[in-house]
Amino acid sequence: MADDEEKTEEPTSKKLDDAKNEGNVSKSMEVVGASILTFGSIFLLFFSGSSMLEIKKLMMLSYNFIGQEMDGPLYYAITYTVVITLLKALAPLFILVILLGLVGNWAQFGFISIPLKFDLQKLDPIKGLKNIFGLKKLLEALKLSLKLAIIITVMFIIFSLTYNEFLAMMNKETMATISSMLQLTIYFVFTILFIIIIFAIMDFYFSKYYYMKSLKMSKQEIKDEYKNMEGDPQVKGRIRRIQMQMAQKRMMGNVPNADVVITNPTHYAVALKYDNKVNSAPVLVAKGIDFLALKIKDIAKENNVTIIENPALARALYDQIEVDKEIPNQFYKAIAEIFSYLYELKRKR
């Protein structure tokens, strides 16, 4: 049984394509999250002067109303101002986040289109518990805990190092305080981003590794897949087309070295070569009808190969002899006359 064999072989391209078509792809949400946070932060820092200005206004507004009592109308006015200001400041960022989410997924596995269908197996409580307490979920939880622990530790260290600077902010003017707080926030954010990017890179390669491991195949599975592909009419047709293309390419490569091309003159063309040290009779090295016949003639002209018109002989050779085969006895006399003519031409030159 294929299922009982050890799966040691890398997945075939067909196995990978089938998995992708079923929606089973290597996907790291850490990469998506890291790309959103990184480019979103860069956008806010370098390309959103108006957004940063709105945020500064909001911080100034909040700072000015610290410790003040607010009645109904003032409260609603401030709330309205805060909401509008946030929308104006963050709308470009929201759009960027959506685009980055799409690009982050596309960069990992491209776009896939899978029809939605209701799967009753997903409602199975036993499988649900297995998923919750499975090894993969446990590793995810450990990874998240480790990441949070590192981020909290780094933030604590940074806060400890900047504590005196933070206290000094309280004695500055409003704009100076806001500016210092923004600088400190940027320092915090990009330090955390660095940690998140490191985790994202690690997660990308781990996800790829476990994905490829989950798709590994046994030797028997590869043999079975190959047998199934051989029986597929589409695969057979594709193989035949490739074989024909390769044969035609090889055949056309023989024409420049041919001794003569015999034509119909337009519908048939055959190329012959004779080497008395190798063969006992001339060999048909290329043949074609219609388009291929014209192509054989063109190549022959480009390489100064003699072209002789003999419709009956050209058609007979085309119908009765395969490529790379010597001409049979019944054609010896006709071919001998042609080669005698060729030798006479060479002698006169």
Q: What is the mean pLDDT of residues 5-9?
A: 76
Comparing 150-164, 233-247, 258-272, the range with the smallest average pLDDT is 233-247
Please, are residues 283 and 331 in contact by the beta-carbon 8 Å criterion?
Answer: no
List the chain domain ranges: 25-115+131-221, 250-348
Residue 118 pLDDT exceeds 80: no
Other beta carbons within 10 angstroms of residue 75's beta carbon come to: 12
Sheet of 283-289, strands arranged across: 306-309, 260-263, 268-273, 283-289, 325-326
Q: Is residue 1 predicted with pLDDT exceeding 50? A: no
Question: Is pTM, for the whole model, over 0.75?
Answer: no
Q: Which tops the pLDDT comparison, 342 or 118?
A: 342
Assess if CATH 3.90.550.10 describes domain 250-348.
no
> What's the pLDDT band for 108 if we cut at 50, 70, 90?
low
pLDDT, position 282: 92
Q: What DSSP string describes 190-251?
A: HHHHHHHHHHHHHHHHHHHHHHHHHT-B-HHHHHHHHHHHHH-HHHHHHHHHHHHHHHHHHH
Span 269-288, average pLDDT: 90
Asked if 335 and 282 count as a contact pair (C-beta separation under 8 A), the reply is yes
| pLDDT tens, residue by residue, 29-87 | 788 778 777 777 777 677 656 666 766 676 676 666 665 666 667 667 777 777 777 77
| Residue 270 predicted with pLDDT over 90 | yes
Q: What percent helix, strand, coil does the chain show, rounded to 5?
A: 70, 5, 20
Query: Is the model's pLDDT at 172 over the cut of 70?
Result: no
Tell me the mean pLDDT in the region 158-177.
72
Q: Which residues pair with 268 in a beta bridge?
A: 289
Indicate if the pLDDT at residue 129 is higher than 60: no
Which among 97, 84, 93 has a CA at the least distance from the CA of 57? Answer: 84
Give tens-digit pLDDT for 291-334: 889 999 999 999 988 899 999 999 999 999 998 899 998 999 99
Mean pLDDT across the chain, nearest whole number?
77
Residue 14 and residue 17: Cα distance in Å, rounded? 5
